[in-house]
Each structure stands twice: as structure tokens, then as C-alpha cells.
Amino acid sequence: MKRSRILAGATAASLALGLAACSSGDDGGGGGDGEDVTLGFYTDKAAWEPSFDAMNEVSGTQGSTLDFTGYSDATAYDSFIKQSFRTKKVPDLFTWHTGSQLADLVDQGLVAETTDLWTQAEADGLVPEGLKDNYTYDGKQYCVPLNVAYWAVYYNKKVFADHGIEVPTTFDEMMAAAKKLKDAGVTPFHQMNIIFEFAWFQALLAGDAPDVYQGLQTGDASYLDPKVVEVMDQWKSMIDDGYYNDPGITTDPQTMLKNGDVAMAYFGTFLTGQLTDVGAKSGEDYGIFPMPSMDSASGNQMVLETGPLCVGKGSEHEQQALDYSAWWMSDEAQNAWSSSRGDVSFNPHVKVEDPELQGLVDQVKDGGFTTQQRYLEANPLPVYTLSTEIFGDFVTNAPDPKPGLQRLQDEADKYWADQG
Amino acid sequence: MTATAAPPRSPAGTTSPVRRPRAPYRWSARGFALPAVLIVALLLYLPFVWTSYLSLTEYNGLGDPELVGLAKYQEMLTDAGFLNSLRNTLFWVVGTLVLPVGLGLLIAVLAYGLKGSFWYRLPFLLPYAISGVAVGVIWTFVLQTGGALDEALGVLGVTDPPRWLLDAPLNTLVMIAAATWQGAGVNALLFTIGLQSIPKEPLEAARLDGASGWTMFRTMTWPMLTPLTTVVVGLSIVGSLKQFDIIWAMTKGGPGVSSETLALTMYKDTFVENDYGLGAAVAVFLTVITVAASVLYLRRQLSGARES
């Protein structure tokens, strides 16, 4: 009997502990309504912690600082954010993705609206034209841009000089340079079969048929369009001719470009930071030029990638987080951010210290470029996910592109049919 | 207190000499088991029920799941990628039975009885202490294009080596080799324990009858190792069906989906594609075949052992 009693007591204690754990709600922490507030901030950009720390020194004067939690695994991070919305601990501020991933959060009413912030920022000239489209759902805006990156061609200056190659301004010039480099035993272009396997599809199609590139994002164009086939054939011929590195090489693109293992790499301007990390100097070791359009009649095209900074609706410091978001777009914040990251800012008032990047920004501003969204965020998630398989295989084996395009179109048809 | 139940009967119909415990004792025994049962129910059965429910829904991780019947199973079974994953998973099951188990047995038998056999086994055992991801990273250095293996082959005059991690099914086969490097040692250890537990007398008798070498192994050692072999093979089947970490570290299932297994498909569908319903359907399928394979195999082996 004694043992039974002990056991009953232990079971009751165990249940009580379980119930206590289940019912635990607010941890009693948080900043309250005081003047200075610490905002819970979550991001999948763990490596950027020093830059966010630097921002705290500037934003501290405004009364808000970020309590940084960084994830280095994007998938684990996405899962964490989604789960956090099922708890009482909604993040004050967090980074996310544009496109259908943001649409999902908006549909569920999980992110705070930022329409007023955008209206003010546009009135103050803090954001370029067109950027708002990435953040607009049913005519309202959600989140603000954390950062932007232009997609352009990085080239190794020494390799270009050694082979007497000028910076190309047309697609034909770029292909002539590629042939010259290949003949001299240098791999002209970098590409990879994971993460950015879509890059050259994006570069070629946006420059050959921008209307088709945009049409794919809305279901108005087909992957079987003759222009898409033309682009795939061009890409295949470049792979077959040995214009790209072997995708089995897992060396970082920045290292390959710095070492001259490849002469050119088409990347977002975030590559600048990675090149700096491996000791390459902008303007000395490498330069940047806009990707020339495959069909010059299509005009200059520039792919712009942007990542959102979002406020969790109903979070503990929702209003302060919105105030921080407004401040984030200001000249003060963006000067500090650009300086800390060594990267371009979306704010047109901000000058980048790096002359190559500033040169690119100036060209985009003055060269009549049309801005395009990056393929990854611009397309429906199921289609993009299938594209990682199709393009990953294409980069690796350069098969006949038609079956892959057919599969992509089937997936797109299914997606748009489900959308009604 | 007249609740003395009739003693249980054994399968052969003979009366068991063991008296059934008294009721208060049975209750306290159940009480002792309760916390463990609760934990298993809470951490194993409840998530499985929840996963089974999710497999019948359309759900992206936000909001509420929406019931769609068996649509996700239909989608799964008609997906070319799923069939490819199933094929790769079968490769893994067969491959890990042949290589880590076969090699483990070979190492154990060859080293058994030798002076200092521990030192022969040790190098094979060390990789077991490394995590699967670390094994994947090490082997990526070896097998990537221009990696250590290509360099070594280059020295030997092979200028155009195979694309180890890029071409299917070669990429799956070399990853099985990596898993073998990690897993053969522990299998060898288990088989060694099995060899040590074999009674000496029958072997001695067989030796006196003139048996030796392969005949001795085939007719005496191998049959007497059966209980241990059952455990090793059972563990190997379950381990290979849920293989994830080495593949994730080496190819992430690529290029494309060429080296994906069911465990990777489940993860990608759920967390990369945000299709929780489809991921749950793959999870249920994987669980069912893992449990079915284990039960069928163990039942067959154990009933065989009873008969013998």
C-alpha cells in the first residue's frame, strides 16, 4: 500500500508538472512600456550579427535596440517562425521572404500592415520606384525592405587584362569574351547546381524576353513558349561548349573568382561581402558590370532581390517595431547599414563606399534599366521547388530541355488552376 | 478476496507453475509502468496519430489544416520524384545489407581468435564515433569533382574519372560506401560478441570430425550466429530505411532529386515545399514499410529460431 501511495504521489506530481508546462504563457519578461525598448528580432542571416550589433549603436539613440537571434539553417528558421505564430510569443521583428511565402503570412493575418510607412517613405524619396510591388498584397503593404541586392556579373580583372578583354556591354561581346577565354584555357563563367541553379535561366530569359519572364510569374506565359526554349537552347550550348565550371566542384564562388578559376560569376551584390571575406579587393581584383540582355531589343534589365523585415501582428512591442521599421528606411539607418555591410542600399540617398558597387547603382539609375524580381521569390513556391530539380539537373547534365520545361509547365498549370 | 483467477496456460497446454500475482501487486505494477507508457504514448503514438491526420489534409504550416481525404497519397504515388526516392531507398536497404553487414561479419570472423584482434577491429570502429554529417563532409572532400579521390586517380594516370556525386545511381552507391565506412566496425563488434557467445564444445566436436575453414563457418559458426545476425540485419534494415544525415550532408538528394531517399523527400516536402500534408503522407508510408519490414523479418527469423 505504501508503494502505491508513493506512486500515486509521483504520478500526480508528474501530471501537475505537465499541466504547468502546458499552461505556461507569458514568461514575464519583455521590456514593458518604458522609454527604451528591446525588440525581439529573429533572422536566418546568422552571419550578419556584427552588422545588426552595429545598427544597435545607432538605433539606441532612438530608444530601440534589437535582441538578435540568428539561424544559419534557413529551413529550420522558416519552421521556427511559423511555429512561433502558434504560441503567445510572436516575434516583434523578423526577416522573411517576398513572393508566395510572404503572401502566406499575409493571408493568415500574421504580419502587421505597413502601408502608412511606405506612403511616407515614398513621399520622402527613401525607396526607389517599383520596390513597393514586392511588398504589396491586395493594394496594401506589409513589411519593409531589410536589404536589396542587384544581380550582376562579377569579373576577375587580372584575367580580363591578361587576355586583353574589355568589359562587355552587349551579349555578343560577352560571348566573344567567353570564347576567347575558353580558347585560352580559362573557364569563362561560374554556375552551381544547388541554391542558385536558376541564375542563368533568370539572366538569359529576363534579357531575351522580359515579358515572358514576368508572364511565368503570373501564369500568363508558358514554359513551352518559343522564347523559353530559345533561352534553354542557348544555355545548353554554353554548357556543352564548356563555358561553365564543373558543378561537382564545391569550392566557393568567391574563391574561384578570386583565384581566376572562373573569369565571371553572375551573382547578387551580396557576393561583394563574400569576396571581401576571402581578401579580394573591389576595383583591384574584381569589377562588376550589368548582365547584358541576350536580345538587345529587350532593353536593359536588372534583377533586384529584396528581403523583408516584418513585424509580427499582435507582438508584445508591435508599435515600437513598426516605428523601428520606419526608422530602418531612413537615411540615417541606411547609411549605417550600407557602411556596415559594405553593400548597396535600397535608399537612393545612400552612397556606397565601394566604387564598383556605386558604379553599378549609378548605371542602373541612369541607364534606363527595367527592374525585374529574382526568379526564386517571383514564382509560385511549388514551381520554384520543381525548378530546383529541373535546373539542378540541367546544370549538371545539360539534357534535352523540353521534358523538363513540360514538367514545369504542368506544375504551373496545376498551381494556377488551384488558385482559381 | 475471492478474485483468484485460474493460472494462465502455456501454448502447449500445460499448467504454468507460476502463480498469478495478487491484485494489489498487479495494480502497483501497472502504476510503475504508467509513466513510461504515458511518455511513449505522448511522444510516439500521439505524434503518429497527428501525422496520420495531417496526411489527410492540405496544410502549409500556417492556419488550420483542411481535410482533403486521400488526395495527398494519390499525389505522392503519382509523383515521379517519389518513385525515384523509393528506388534509392531500396538501393540503401540492399546496399547496407551487403556492405556494412557483410563486411562487418568478414572483419569479425577474420579477426576472431587472432592475437591482438582488438587492434585489427579498432580502426573500423573509430568512424562510428563520428556523426553522420561529419562523415558526409569528410567523404564530400574525397568524392567531389577534383577531390582527393580524383587527385589520387590522376596520379595513377586516370584523367577522366567518374563524376562520383553527380551521376545517378553512382552517387547513391558511393554514399552507401561512405555509410559502410562508418557502420561496418560496429557490426564487426556485434558479430564478435556473437562469436564469443558460441559454446566451444560443438565447434571442438566439429573440428574433431574434420571440419575446418569454410565448411566449419558454413555448417557450424554461421547457424550459431543466427540470433546476433537477426539483430544486426534488423537494425540495418531500419537504419537504411530512414537514412538521412549522410545524404543531406553530401548531395542534399541532388543533383535534382537523383539521390533522394524517402526520408529526404519527407523532409523536403514538409519543410522546404511547405506541403505538410504531402510530407506527412510520405512519413506515414515510410513508417508503415519500416514497421512492416521489421515485423515480417523478425517474425520469420524468430519463428525459425524457435523451430530449430
pTM, rounded to two decimals:
0.82
CA distance B282 to chain A (A): 17
Q: What part of B 185-214 touches A (C-beta under 8 Å)?
A: none
**What is the C-alpha to C-alpha distance for residues B34 and A15, in angstroms, rounded to an integer?**
12
- Residue burial A288-308, b: 16+ Cβ < 10 Å; e: rest: bbbbbbbeeebebbbbbbbbb
Torsion from C-alpha of B10, B11, B12, B15, nearest 10 degrees: 20
Q: What is the DSSP string of A291-330?
A: PPPSSGGG--EEEEEEEEEEEBTT-TTHHHHHHHHHHHTS
* pLDDT computed for residue B3 by the predictor: 42
B148 has a chain A CB within 8 A of its CB:
no
**What is the C-alpha to C-alpha distance for residues A375 and A362, in angstroms, rounded to an integer?**
24
Amino acid at A130: G
Question: ipTM of this model?
Answer: 0.77
Helical H segments across A219-354, by residue range = 226-240, 253-259, 271-277, 318-328, 331-341
Contact assessment for residue B228 and residue B193, using Cβ atoms and an 8 Å cutoff: yes
Go through the domains of chain A in sequence order and give each one's CATH number: 37-148+305-362 (3.40.190.10), 150-303+372-418 (3.40.190.10)
- Residue burial A353-377, b: 16+ Cβ < 10 Å; e: rest: ebebbebbbebbeeeebebbbbbbb
**What is the C-alpha to C-alpha distance for residues A217 and A380, in angstroms, rounded to an integer?**
7
**What is the C-alpha to C-alpha distance for residues A380 and A97, in angstroms, rounded to an integer?**
12
Q: Show me where the domains of chain B are located.
A: 71-307
Residues on chain A touching B64 (C-beta within 8 angstroms): none
**What is the C-alpha to C-alpha distance for residues B17 and B130, in angstroms, rounded to an integer?**
50
Rg (CA), chain A: 24
Residues on chain A touching B88 (C-beta within 8 angstroms): none
Longest C-alpha distance within chain B, in Å?
88
Q: Which mean pLDDT values do the consecutive 10-residue runs of chain A (420 residues) have? A: 48 44 38 71 93 93 92 92 91 95 94 97 92 94 96 98 97 98 97 94 98 97 98 98 92 95 96 92 96 96 95 96 97 94 92 93 88 93 92 95 97 90
Q: Which three cell numbers stand for residue A322?
A: 513598426
Of residues A194, A249, A392, nearest to B146 (C-beta): A249
Residues on chain B touching A85 (C-beta within 8 angstroms): 62
Q: Which three cell numbers stand for residue B68?
A: 482533403
* pLDDT computed for residue A14 by the predictor: 44
pLDDT in tens, B155-185: 999 988 999 999 989 999 999 999 999 999 9
CA distance A77 to chain B (A): 10
Judged by CB atoms closer than 8 Å, whether chains meet at A7 and B255 is answered as no
Judged by CB atoms closer than 8 Å, whether chains meet at A250 and B144 is answered as yes
Closest CA to A328 of A87, A46, A56, A21: A56
* pLDDT computed for residue B80 by the predictor: 84
Closest CA to A319 of A85, A145, A64: A64
Q: Which three cell numbers stand for residue B155?
A: 596520379
* pLDDT computed for residue A23 by the predictor: 38
Dihedrals φ, ψ of B6, to 5°? Answer: -65, 145
B162 has a chain A CB within 8 A of its CB:
no
Judged by CB atoms closer than 8 Å, whether chains meet at A247 and B24 is answered as no
Helix (H, G, I), strand (E, B), or coil: what is residue B159? coil
Which contiguous run of DSSP H or E holds residue A262?
strand A262-268
pLDDT at residue B21 tops 70: no
Of residues B145, B268, B273, nearest to A246 (C-beta): B145
Q: pLDDT band for B2, please (50, 70, 90 cuts).
A: very low
Q: Name the residue in chain B with its Cα closest to that of A381.
A: B273
Q: What dotted CATH number matches B71-307?
A: 1.10.3720.10
Judged by CB atoms closer than 8 Å, whether chains meet at B62 and A108 is answered as yes
Amino acid at A375: Y
* pLDDT computed for residue B186 by the predictor: 92
Residues on chain A touching B31 (C-beta within 8 angstroms): 4, 7-8, 11
pLDDT in tens, B33-63: 999 999 999 999 999 999 999 999 999 999 8
Judged by CB atoms closer than 8 Å, whether chains meet at A393 and B63 is answered as no
**What is the C-alpha to C-alpha distance for residues B253 and B282, in angstroms, rounded to an integer?**
16
For residues B32 and B114, the model is more confident at: B32
Grid cell 503570373 is found at A218
A168: preceding bond cis by omega (within 30 degrees): no
Judged by CB atoms closer than 8 Å, whether chains meet at B28 and A246 is answered as no
B74 has a chain A CB within 8 A of its CB:
no
Helix (H, G, I), strand (E, B), or coil: what is residue A141? strand
